[in-house]
Copies of this chain bind each other. A is one copy, B any other.
Amino acid sequence: MFLKNCWYVAAWDHELNDGKLLERTLLGETVLLYKTPDDAVVALDNRCCHRGAKLSQGRIEGDCVRCMYHGLKFDPSGACVQIPGQDRIPPKLGVKSYPVINKDHLVWIWMGDPALADPAGIIDIPYLRDPQWKGIPAYLHYDANYLLIVDNLSDFAHLAFVHTNTLGGSEEYAYVTKPVAIERLENGFRVERWHMNSDAPPFHKKVIPNKADKVDRRNIGHMQIPGIFLLESLFAPAGSGAEKGNLEGAREYRNCQFMTPETERSTHFFWNYLNNFEGTDYTISMSLLDSLIEGFLEDKEIIEHQQKVLDDDPGFKMTAVAADVALSHFRWTLDRMLEAEQSETAMAAE
């Protein structure tokens, strides 16, 4: 069961270049994504209404897509506009279309009631269009429910054990640091955590000159329904007073991550890890991309096994520890929204 009336990331817009007919399963529905000649993104049910052939095996013709089984043609609204060998087209014949918005290179899709789809509800991420922030859009597929990835990101303590030699840096992180704040928000949470006078973690060391210098490290994570995670990371010279606002000599990162359910047991994971200090040295973005892939594969190894554990024994119960405050609030909030959406849908059906 998924929250339907909200915006999900369906693709990076470059995935649709060169007239690609992209088939992607989103929230269990098989969707066709493509761009028209004037660069508008179209999202349709990928199944021809005639015999269920896949439109992604078809052909783009202008704004339209033609099914290459018996030749039915559909316009961007999903309406059937041609049936070869048949003069009259039944007026309601067609496939479902989905509201889509291309914003800052992210293709956002609305899987619920189209009447409720308000583009203003799409989160604004200014650094995705700020030329000072550089990064490489990336994608990973998970064989796990998207909430297991949300959980993972909700507790920075896992950096200490899962990512000791990549994104974390030391197991000490789990023992000596704690969130200085966990804010429960209406649609998610915000956490902040400092690690003073610590070694730089491996991924950061790879892209800075003075690798041995101690740093004061701050992570601020912001998780939002349905599965959007923004992470601001700061590495300041140890003792320079970053915690009081002095950012001289600090290096910063902005990470945005988007978890979109493919099915109940698989997830599309999009991210871009940006920095504001590489200038013209693109190898820094490349190094960070490699480090992030390395780190996320460590998560994937854990999380996909977690999914298998849950699949193998539906009776298995997790037990919360103190650090689960943020993830528990997120799941509680999501459950309330799901209930509300279900009851609205039920009332509308009466």
What is A's interface to B at a CB cutoff of 8 Å?
30, 47, 49-54, 57, 66-72, 83-86, 93, 151, 155, 157-158, 160-162, 171, 174-175, 177-178, 301-302, 305-306, 309-310, 312, 316, 318-323
Which residues on B sit within 8 Å (CB–CB) of A322? 83, 85-86
| Contact of B49 with A175 in the complex, beta carbons under 8 Å | no
The 9 A-B residue pairs with the shortest CB-CB distance in the complex, in nearest-first order: A84-B174, A52-B309, A86-B322, A68-B161, A71-B161, A54-B305, A49-B319, A52-B306, A47-B309
> In whole angstroms, what is the CA distance A234 to B260 when docked?
54
> In whole angstroms, what is the CA distance A205 to B318 when docked?
58
Copies in the complex: 3
> In whole angstroms, what is the CA distance A49 to B320 when docked?
9
> In whole angstroms, what is the CA distance A202 to B310 when docked?
48
Specify which of A50, A71, A85, A319 lies most central, judged by the most chain B CB atoms within 10 Å of its CB.
Answer: A85
> In whole angstroms, what is the CA distance A30 to B69 when docked?
33
Cβ-defined partner of A85 (8 Å) among B86, B319, B320, B323 = B323
| Contact of B70 with A157 in the complex, beta carbons under 8 Å | yes
Given A178-B85, A306-B53, A321-B86, the answer on whether A71 and B30 have CB atoms closer than 8 Å is: no
> In whole angstroms, what is the CA distance A72 to B264 when docked?
28
| Contact of B51 with A306 in the complex, beta carbons under 8 Å | yes
Cβ-defined partner of A323 (8 Å) among B57, B86, B174, B175 = B86
